[in-house]
Amino acid sequence: MPLPEVKEKWSGRVHPVTLGATPAEGGTRGRTVTIGGASGIPFLDFDGETPHAPAIAMDVLDVAPSDWPKPLADVYADVWSDPAAWARRVKELGADLVNLRLVGTHPDEGDRTPEQAVETVRAVLDAVDLPLVIWGCDVPAKDQVVMPRVAEAAQGENCLLGAATETEYRTLAAAALAYHHKLIALAPCDINKSKQVNMLVSDTGYPLADLVIYPTTASLGYGMEYVYSILERGRLAALSGDRLMAQPVILDVGYEAWRCKEARTGDEAAAAWGPAALRGPAWEAVTAADLLQGGADLIVMRHPKAVETVRRLIDGLLAPTA
């Protein structure tokens, strides 16, 4: 029996977005990373091209985390009070990008000043030559003060800045535009809202082609299917020619996976659930693997074992079929 033809004819594709800048491009990065560009369903090489493999950014915090469980502490505790050393560590572990979270600027979590944030960003830029994703602390009033300063300090490095939302987008879009950075547009688990945010950001004069969509993330066992279906619908809209939905997608897998009790609980549950040293990384890797199938272009991760597994999976899925 002949196989039915399932190949679709798409009119659109995901925008490619390049992050980082080498000295030739006015920055100091060792290389750039391009995400997006796909012209078909993820990992179906007969359906369309995947010119750029999904990239992996690894988390670095500006202050030592207080609640990271043992499997992560085992890898990072010796460097996590120094963001520069931490950044060097994630580079050694194979990160494509550093995902720098300025959580310490949060008014209730240390209230670090814009100057201190700038210092951290500079230290990380000096320590490693990977492109950067930089997030504020998620408190709009504080981010509006910190992020423009950070954007200015990182001028020329073509970072990815997070995150513009439906109500708070003007300041960040203006800073990203002024200092030539890429921008994350965030709409929590709502694809219609996502389109709306992209439109609002675009209204400020910020180019649609420089946006990256962040639909938020949910872990395996905690609503991952919902995010998966949003990824699918977004990719189909992009492929159908919807330019407001043609942006590549970033997902925060590490943070979400390591919030789950299945990942966090220690070896007291080993008898029923298996050893913590494997369970957490597995939870993170499986979440990433699933969401990559939905259409994630850039995933933020934490544990090197999970990163290694996911990297192997991506390489295998993108290997030319014989």
Partner 1 sequence: MIIFSERINGMYRDVRGAIADRNKEVIHRLLAEQLAGGADVIDLNIGPTKGDPAENFLWLAQAVHEVTDKPLSLDSAKANVLVQAVPAVREALPDTGLVINSCTAAREYMDKLLPLAVQYRCGIIGLTMDQDGVPGNVEKRVECGASFLMAAIEAGIPTEDIYLDPIILPIHAAPKQQIHAVEAIRQLAAVSDPPPRFIVGLSNVSQKCPLHKLLNRTYLVMCLAAGLDAAICDAADRDLIDAMITAEALLGKHLYSDDYLRAWRMQKGLAC
Q: Decide whether 144 or 196 has the Cβ nearer to partner 1.
A: 196
Q: Decide whether 194 or 219 has the Cβ nearer to partner 1.
A: 194
* Amino acid residing at 211: L
CB of 17 to partner 1, least distance (A): 19
Of 79, 174, 244, 277, which lies in the binding site for partner 1, with binding defined by CB under 8 A? 244
What is the Cα–Cα distance from 121 to 105, expressed in whole angstroms?
A: 12
Q: Does 305 bind partner 1 (CB under 8 A)?
A: no
Q: Does 199 bind partner 1 (CB under 8 A)?
A: yes
Are 199 and 262 in contact, with CB atoms under 8 Å apart? no
For Cα atoms 19, 249, 176, give the angle at the middle one, nearest 5 degrees.
45
DSSP result, 79-119: TTT-HHHHHHHHHHTT-SEEEEE-GGGSTTTT---HHHHHH
CB of 247 to partner 1, least distance (A): 13
Q: Does 178 bind partner 1 (CB under 8 A)?
A: no
Determine which helix (DSSP H) or strand (DSSP E) holds 7, and give its type and residue range.
none
Q: Of 74-82, 101-109, 238-246, 270-278, which part binds partner 1 (CB under 8 A)?
A: 238-246
Q: Does 180 bind partner 1 (CB under 8 A)?
A: no
Q: Decide whether 131 or 295 has the Cβ nearer to partner 1.
A: 295
Residue in 209, 225, 232, 221 with CA at minimum distance from that of residue 295:
232
Q: Does 202 bind partner 1 (CB under 8 A)?
A: yes
Chain centroid, CA 46 distance in Å = 27
Strand partners, 132: 98
Of 193, 266, 270, 277, which lies in the binding site for partner 1, with binding defined by CB under 8 A? 193
Q: Decide whether 18 or 202 has the Cβ nearer to partner 1.
A: 202
* Amino acid residing at 200: L
CB of 196 to partner 1, least distance (A): 4
Chain centroid, CA 138 distance in Å = 15
DSSP result, 224-261: HHHHHHHHHHHHHHHHTT-GGG-S-BEEEHHHHHTTSH
Q: Does 191 bind partner 1 (CB under 8 A)?
A: yes
Q: Of 147-155, 236-244, 248-256, 266-274, which part binds partner 1 (CB under 8 A)?
A: 236-244
Q: Decide whether 135 or 214 has the Cβ nearer to partner 1.
A: 214
The count of residues interacting with partner 1 (CB under 8 A) is 15
Q: Does 232 bind partner 1 (CB under 8 A)?
A: no
Of 113, 155, 196, 293, which lies in the binding site for partner 1, with binding defined by CB under 8 A? 196
Q: Does 185 bind partner 1 (CB under 8 A)?
A: no
For 321, which DSSP code?
P
What is the Cα–Cα distance from 214 to 237, expressed in whole angstroms?
A: 16
Q: Does 243 bind partner 1 (CB under 8 A)?
A: yes
The residues that touch partner 1, with contacts defined as CB under 8 A, are 191-196, 199, 202, 233, 237, 240, 242-245
